[in-house]
Chains A and B, each alone.
Chain A
Amino acid sequence: GLEETVCTAKLRVNIGSSPSPDIYNPQAGRINTVTSLDLPVLRWLKLSAEHGSLRKNALIVPHYNRNANSVIYALKGRARLQVVNCNGNTVFDGELEAGRALTVPQNYAVAAKSLSERFTYVAFKTNDRDGIARLAGTSSVINDLPLDVVAATFNLQRNEARQLKSNNPFKLLVPPRESEKRASA
């Protein structure tokens, strides 16, 4: 019966040391998510989670959670985070270090850059099928707009709009620049 199904529901999944991350770039880091697709009981709870690990100077491009609030808890290392509200105001521009938590409300834009060799975090999200929208890089919302709409929207020449649409080949995690890599070595 139904109660037996509920009683034996799978309640555990490991995202901290998963050998198969959802997003991976050896030079930038990895991100793993658990949603109700991975752990069906989360559909009931309407929650999901994300675990991320960033290399030094790697960047998570500006993005926002479409349908969830998010609480980011730093596990290891430190990173610089910026969060922007709907008025374009910077509501957080600072370091997040191990043991601290930062709330990022739904639709607020956030970006992060790792300041230590390895910045690791877990983010709790208040939707079991959370989705993010990227504001930069491949498959970002800018990429998904027609070229002329981008040019008119940002008051750019068409060749500048092209650069905006195509210059960053990365999706979410951007590796450090060569100069930053050399400096940290």
Chain B
Amino acid sequence: SQQNECQLERLDALEPDNRIESEGGLIETWNPNNRQFRCAGVALSRVTLQRNALRRPYYSNAPQEIYIQQGNGYFGVVFPGCPETFEEPQESEQRERRRYRDSHQKVNRFREGDIIAVPTGNVLWMYNDQDTPVIAISLTDTGSSNNQLDQIPRRFYLAGNQEQEFLRYQREQGGKQEQENDGNNIFSGFKRDFLEDALNVNRHIVDRLQGRNEDEEKGAIVKVKGGLSIITPPERQRGSRQEEDEDEKEERQPSRRRDESQKGESRRHGDN
């Protein structure tokens, strides 16, 4: 960092100065090159998610702290190497053989007033399943020792080909010209044959992964038609004994949220 960065004679209350609209919402950012932010070693952004909007998974080069100003919904932080602890329930043995049972890492519910902590390099996604738009303020601590790159906050998106929220400042900082592929996702830089081999999938799926499909201009926040179906335990209402009892029953058997999921009940095995 430059010398005398923190020799500040005057401070200003700043508004975001960059705005990127997506199909399902909006990302606003404050310029991280501003001396105040540079001195503090942080970057700030504000995300708005409309109903049924999914913030596509991404990871960052520094830890994040997110405050939920408004709304509620679901989020997941993927801890690489940790087990997938949320599983779809088993159905009858015959159906089980044919059916794919999904499993994934923990999914959390967030609500207004929550702070969400996201470690460096862990993948984050967020989803708004309510009518009220979700507004989340995110601080990225680029001065953290966990960030071994420079002070520019970087978002590594797993999908899409949208403009990165901090990319503009990255260009300003480095005096760099816009490159043809800027704004693509982490898969788009790999050659197709590498991905076909690594994922063992066909070219069509690889193209989607790389954001090559024609309709791929939905941005970092996409609308999910019909909503997401996620394996989560039912939400607990405080103070309701009956509902707590029901929750306890259900919590032993996390069920898939949606009508289709309510049908099957797990078969209990007595075997060891």
Chain A residues near B (Cβ < 8 Å) = 59, 61-62, 64-69, 82-91, 93, 105-107, 109, 111, 113, 126-127, 131-137, 139, 141-149, 152-156, 160, 162-168, 174, 177
| CB-based contact B205/A84 at 8 Å | no
Say whether A107 contacts B149, CB under 8 Å. Answer: yes
Q: With a CB–CB cut-off of 8 A, which chain A residues contact B79?
A: 144
Contact A146 B156 (CB under 8 A): no
**Is the beta-carbon distance between A154 and B104 smaller than 8 angstroms?**
no
Contact B80 A132 (CB under 8 A): yes
Within the complex, the shortest CB–CB distance from A122 to chain B, in Å, comes to: 19
Which of A66, A88, A134, A143 has the largest count of B CB atoms less than 10 A from its CB? A88
Number of interface residues of B (CB under 8 A): 72
A-B contact pairs, 25 of them (CB 8 A): A59-B197, A64-B186, A82-B194, A86-B155, A87-B164, A87-B167, A87-B182, A88-B157, A88-B182, A89-B182, A107-B154, A107-B156, A113-B197, A135-B198, A136-B199, A143-B84, A145-B104, A147-B104, A148-B230, A152-B222, A153-B159, A155-B208, A155-B218, A160-B205, A164-B199
Task: Determine which of A59, A68, A88, A141 lies in contact with B198 in the assembled complex, contact meaning CB atoms within 8 Å.
Answer: A59
Counting residue pairs across A and B whose Cβ atoms lie within 8 Å, the total is 215
CA distance A162 to B190 in the complex (A): 22
Chain A CB within 10 A, most for which of B54, B186, B195, B228 = B186
Residues of B within 8 A of A (CB): 54, 56-57, 59-61, 76, 78-82, 84, 86, 100, 102, 104-105, 107, 120-123, 125, 127, 146-149, 154-159, 161, 164, 167, 179, 181-191, 194-195, 197-201, 204-205, 208-209, 211, 213, 215-216, 218, 222, 224, 228-231
**A88, B208: Cβ atoms under 8 Å?**
no
What are the residues of chain B within 8 A of A87 when measuring CB–CB? 164, 167, 179, 181-184
